[in-house]
Structure 1
Amino acid sequence: MSILRLEVSNPDYSPANTQTITVHSSHLTRRHDITVYNAQSQAKNLAVVVLLHGVYGNHWVWMQMGGVHQVYERLRQQGLQEFVLVMPSDGGYMDGSAYLDLAEAGNYQQWIMEDVFAAVQQSVTAVSERSRWYISGLSMGGFGALLLGCQFSQRFSGISAHSSITNPSQLSQFVDYPLHCYPQLEKAEHLPQYWAVKGNIPPLRFDCGADDPLLLANIELHQILTQAGVDHEFEQLSGGHEWPYWHKNVEKSFRFFDVIERKYQAL
């Protein structure tokens, strides 16, 4: 177990249905945080949606800048399956870790795949070892969702990404320091398609706005996956690289995961 310590917020003093977890991780040798929504559900074995944030952000931005909980509650009223929403910090490296294993800088992949998984299972009673996990993200978090979802394909039941960085080199569009600060950034294993073409990935979709500077990179990834015969969905939508786009289109992630979850439940 890589978790050294957990601190979990008291629901009596927390925003409604929201929990904050501070994890002292040996993968990062420091503390980082996770926000969980629908944390007090009385259901059992609920499916989990991991939402990864972009550069500059942290565990709180999906809710407090993107209103993701409001989108979720609106869709619940329309019949969406119940999920637990898990929003972790990226690990706090520079302006963004890209959710990578960066050698001496820290293993930000295992922070998500081991520490976040374990912390949620330990502290959220609605989540168990039987719960299915889905992953989504925006911008750098979209990259994290694509990479982790394909690399750890047996751990996830679906992948959805919005406005994604598709290659770590694209971080240069968002940070003002040289990318050599990221150890081994050029590794082939840091490309989603490296893992996707190996096959047996879960259902995959991604989208990007027509006015987004990452649109061409997303189209190129779509073409690479298509040529490799990787089953996936790609949508070019209206909008740019901005919170109004993500607030609107995270609904597509929820509906995509809802369809998959209903298929599992029908088995």
Structure 2
Amino acid sequence: MYLTYLDSNSWLIEIGEKRILLDPWLVGPLVFGGLGWLFKGQRRTPRPIPENIDLILLSQGLTDHAHPPTLEKLDRAIPVVGSVEAAKVVRSLGYTQVTALAHGETFTLDNTVKIEAVPGSPIGPLLVENGYILRELSGNGSIYYEPHGYHSPSLKDAGSIDVLMVPIVNLKVPLLGPIIQGRDSVSEVAQWLEPQVILPTAAGGDVEFEGVLVKVLQQQGSVEELRETLDGNNLKTQVIEPTPGERFEVNLTEVQSS
């Protein structure tokens, strides 16, 4: 298994000899609803769009997960798997092979990688977006991804998973509450899934943010704190901080069975 962290929520996953582009924001700024004064993300280092993509995987329909300027640069013939809301975004952009997954539904990529949608982040009072479990079907390798730190209790029945790609910090807006609740939830999901590796996502990378919202955000948690917590829970899990833009191999010591 090889991974490349592309900043924010974006990853290139190489599993089962397939290349999966996850929640890509790779070109242009990150702005919600044209409100750059409220929140705007910019890259310090340009990220080239990866080649030979077998699948685009989208967890949410929001701009930081289904980024329209990036999706407009990609080949519309690439298959896409996403939440119901993400599927609406890519269909509106002209993608031709789109599979929307509700919670509990699965998609198998070329008989090599099975992708299961699980409940993820709540967006408002009525919508819950997707997290994903990816499993290599012919060998060792499984991944759980959820970008905001909302982990469904249904994961207790998932068995052990090798790699967790989850946030490890809290990002909160005073009086409004958490945007990301990684610090509050990562220890619990690690105890459920007993991973070999945790890779922080969502609140990192070679990016800078500006705007009114950024000025009031409060961050809590760190890699060091998580390592101490895992050790206190007798978990041998490694916490790896990936270098943005650098491909690296995740060395798994044994096959984790579900």
Same fold at TM > 0.5? no
Q: TM-score, normalised by structure 1?
A: 0.39
- Larger RCO of the pair (alpha carbons < 8 Å, separation 6+): 2
TM-score by length of 2: 0.40
Higher strand share: 2
